Amino acid sequence: MNCAPFTTIAPLIHPLQRQKTVGVQVGDVLVGGKGPIVVQSMTNTDTADVDATVAQVAALAKAGSELVRITVDRTESAQGVAKIRERLDRLGIHVPLVGDFHYIGHKLLADHPDCAQALAKYRINPGNVGFKDKRDKQFGAIIETAIKYNKPVRIGVNWGSLDQALLTSLMNQNAEIGSPLNASQVMQEAIVQSALLSAQEAERIGLSRDKIILSAKVSEVQSLIAVYAELARRSDHALHLGLTEAGMGTKGIVASSAALGILLQQGIGDTIRISLTPEPGGDRTREVQVAQELLQVMGFRSFVPIVAACPGCGRTTSTTFQELAAKIQDQLRANMPIWRDTYPGVEELKVAVMGCIVNGPGESKHADIGISLPGTGETPAAPVFIDGRKAATLRGAKIAEEFEELVQDYVRTRYGGSDNGDIGEIGEAVANSL
């Protein structure tokens, strides 16, 4: 088969260029501006239960959540915030806490100054910060508190609690134009306007632009994409992305990834949350892992070494490669809290665990360290490739254990010092450790 002559081809994938937004400092984390896309999450504990909330914030932070939001819905919750902050600081966990306020946020912040001070950011929803004549007054009170304590604010619009007066006004205006929009388009416009008008009001009161983050959440993928694209077109405010009520399991993961992936590729978004509904008693940190993996597979950030593994087929009837891939991935993720500081750059590591001879050697060569396990009917030997070169062949009953040791040795050798040597020497040194 002859190949066509090579000609200059326009790149199919454009460089990932983020929209320029105003940076907002949330504690020691920069959202927007020149900062990386930030991963955040939210507790589902009762904030009044200090012990439970501290434990969950600690778990989320350990998993990699760079901001953690907590509910502040009543006096008992507000009274717990400063205690939670103090306990976390004693544990050496300095992740910024965001207070989620609805309905009586203005009162809770005024009555509990220690809560107002302990939080790194306030989140308010213009649709339920107050109703009718009280809305502007109560919104203003929260903004004034933020100014007093030098705190940023996320103005988070949600279509489930949209300002009905604004929506009704836009519906009436729409009915009078020659080519009216459909109901969904009017809803989207109301969401965008609610965010922008609220931000304008906050600035009028005196909150600086570098203290405002906007979000506009819906639960339909196409609507979310449309709303954020328009919000980004009209504003340079830092944007928090998230598909609200995304759902459970694979549905929530797929829907969130589809919506956020498209927006991120367009350069839209400064911080993200994957709003997964956990199984009863499920692990809340799952949403952090999904957010990290989304940013990593898209090439925006690196959080944990990636394990490439084939899906398996009739050539791989043994479960050995599946078990080893899962074990290596779990091992890498478990080690990251320590490795992140001890081995700078280790999050870029690529490991391959392949199941047979068809693609195994080739895929393994593309990884930093990879193994090609014997498939059904193949010779019971597993070549290991390090930095593109065949470094060893493992045999016997302890192939998995020996490969795990090689991965550990590789990490120590490559990332353990400022002068790590030639890449080929690293492979040889690791292979000689067998």
CA angle 126-27-161, nearest 5°?
15
pLDDT for the residue numbered 307: 86
pLDDT for the residue numbered 6: 53
Count of residues for the chain? 434
Q: How far is CA 243 from CA 157, 217, 253, 272, 385, in A?
A: 12, 6, 10, 9, 41
Q: Residues 276, 279, 284, 285: is their CA dihedral positive or negative?
A: negative
pLDDT for the residue numbered 7: 57
pLDDT for the residue numbered 1: 59
pLDDT band at 398 (very low <50, low <70, confident <90, very high): confident
**Whether residue 160 has pLDDT greater than 80:** no
SS3 343: coil
Mean model confidence pLDDT for the chain? 88
Query: Which tens digit of pLDDT belongs to each residue from 8-41?
Result: 555 555 556 889 999 999 999 999 999 999 999 9
pLDDT band at 131 (very low <50, low <70, confident <90, very high): low
Q: Which of 26-30, 154-158, 227-231 is predicted least confidently?
A: 154-158
Q: Which of 98-112, 127-141, 342-356 is predicted least confidently?
A: 127-141
pLDDT band at 4 (very low <50, low <70, confident <90, very high): low
pLDDT for the residue numbered 204: 96
Phi, psi of 310 (to 5 degrees): -75, 160
Question: What DSSP element (H or E) covers 258?
Answer: helix 249-265
Which is higher by pLDDT, 15 or 276?
276
pLDDT (average), residues 293-299:
94
pLDDT for the residue numbered 429: 53
One-letter amino acid of 194? S
Other CB atoms within 10 Å distance of the CB of residue 258 = 14
pLDDT for the residue numbered 13: 53
pLDDT (average), residues 149-177:
80
Query: Which tens digit of pLDDT belongs to each residue from 164-222?
Result: 777 677 777 777 777 787 777 887 888 898 899 999 999 999 999 999 999 998 889 99
Q: Residues 76, 82, 88, 91: is their CA dihedral positive or negative?
A: negative
Query: Which tens digit of pLDDT belongs to each residue from 340-370?
Result: 889 999 999 999 888 888 888 888 888 999 9
Other CB atoms within 10 Å distance of the CB of residue 61 = 22
pLDDT for the residue numbered 386: 94
Q: Which of 188-192, 382-386, 417-421 is predicted least confidently?
A: 417-421
Which is higher by pLDDT, 318 or 324?
324
Q: What are 382's strand-pairing partners? A: 394
Tokens of 301: 């950030």
Which is higher by pLDDT, 338 or 212?
212
Q: What's the CA gap between 60 and 90, in Å, rounded?
A: 17
pLDDT (average), residues 136-158:
94
Percent of the residues in the chain that have a pLDDT greater than 70, as a whole number: 91
Q: Which of 24-33, 153-162, 222-231, 299-308 is predicted least confidently?
A: 153-162
pLDDT for the residue numbered 397: 82
Alpha helix (H) residue ranges in 45-163: 50-63, 75-90, 105-111, 113-118, 133-149
The CA radius of gyration of the chain, in Å to the nearest whole number, is 25
**Whether residue 153 has pLDDT greater than 60:** yes
Alpha helix (H) residue ranges in 94-163: 105-111, 113-118, 133-149
Contact 23/31 with Cβ under 8 angstroms?
Answer: yes
pLDDT band at 417 (very low <50, low <70, confident <90, very high): low
Calculate the CA 250 to chain-centre distance.
Answer: 16
